[in-house]
Amino acid sequence: MDTNIYLLKKYYLYTKERFPLPATFSYAAALYYMSYFFPNIIEGHTPVDLLESIMGCLVLFMVLFQIRILDEHKDYAKDASAFPDRMLSRGTITLPDLRKLLIVLVMLQCAMALYLGAWPFVIWLAIQAYVYLMFKEFFAPEYLNKRTWFYLLSHQLLVPLALLLGISQRLSLAEAVSEHPGFLFIFLSGSMMATVNFEIARKTWSPDREREHADSYTKVWGIGGAVFANQVVAALAGCAFTYFYISIFRSLIYSVIIGTVYLAFLAVEFIFTVRRDNKTSKMVETAGAIYSLALLSVSAVYFFNAG
């Protein structure tokens, strides 16, 4: 009993360090419910099942947790050298400990996906297959690691696949693809750009944050290149969702909110190009996260109201 309590405490401390639950659940919920309510612009207010939507959200959340644990296994040697103060590097928690948690997460996902129905389960299986390919770095790690953009986009392609989980619970995917391919493409592309935005922002580091065995986009592209790439992706994501705001169910408020948050993010990154210090670098990460979360959550509300 004491051993189990101690292990649960280690898991809790691990999540605080590597997978903060409030932030990651907020991200998973915004991503999931945006996809869950997206069919409203095609079908109107189709029936909503609260229990099934909660289960779908939890499946997506656990997929993200699963990816974090697999990344710990994949990058263990490199991270132990680059980040010796982390719990895993110190041995406070071990890879076998994380594997136990991983098994529980996958079993729960499987049970919930089965409950949600045939199509959600098939999509979950496809997600698992893609997560495995990511874990193996598509069996071409050297090739991908030499091509930063290709590596980034190959891993972020999981996002459109994951969004199909929520969509499939309320809309026939065959209908969405055959009758509304444009809407679906803009939605999936914009969503992926929103997540790419945060991925770049969280690894836009000042010179004093760079580490020998740690990867960052500033290390590869330089500060100017990383900021430019980040702003292009952020603008593309904003334009994709603004298209829905002004063409389907017109409401100025959604565009104003996203535009304001984007300008704040742009200002923070501009400041970072001038003040290249640790504090401003972390501000970029925070501002990038806020902008991505705003895109997802505001769009979820928009799609909910659009039916």
DSSP codes joined into one string, 131-159:
HHHHHTGGG-HHHHHT-HHHHHHHHHTHH
For the stretch 210-222, pLDDT in tens is 988 889 999 999 9
Mean residue pLDDT across the chain: 95
Whether the CB-CB separation of 38 and 303 falls below 8 Å is answered with yes
Mean pLDDT on 31-47? 89
Give the chain's domains with CATH numbers: 1-172 (1.10.357.140), 180-307 (1.20.120)
For residue 282, pLDDT beyond 60: yes
For the stretch 230-240, pLDDT in tens is 999 999 999 99
Q: Which of 231, 232, 229, 243 is nearest to 299 (CA)?
A: 243
Question: Among all chains, which residue has been given the structure tokens 């041995």?
Answer: 91
* pTM reported for the whole predicted model: 0.94
pLDDT at 1: 57
Percent of the chain with pLDDT strictly greater than 70: 99
Strand residue runs (E) in 48-117: none
Q: Please provide residue 248's backbone torsions phi and psi, each rounded to the nearest 5 degrees.
A: -100, -70
For the stretch 145-164, pLDDT in tens is 899 999 999 999 999 999 99
**DSSP secondary-structure letter at 139?**
G
For residue 250, pLDDT beyond 90: no
pLDDT at 112: 98
Q: How far is CA 251 from CA 183, 190, 242, in A?
A: 18, 19, 10
| Cα 185–chain centre separation | 18
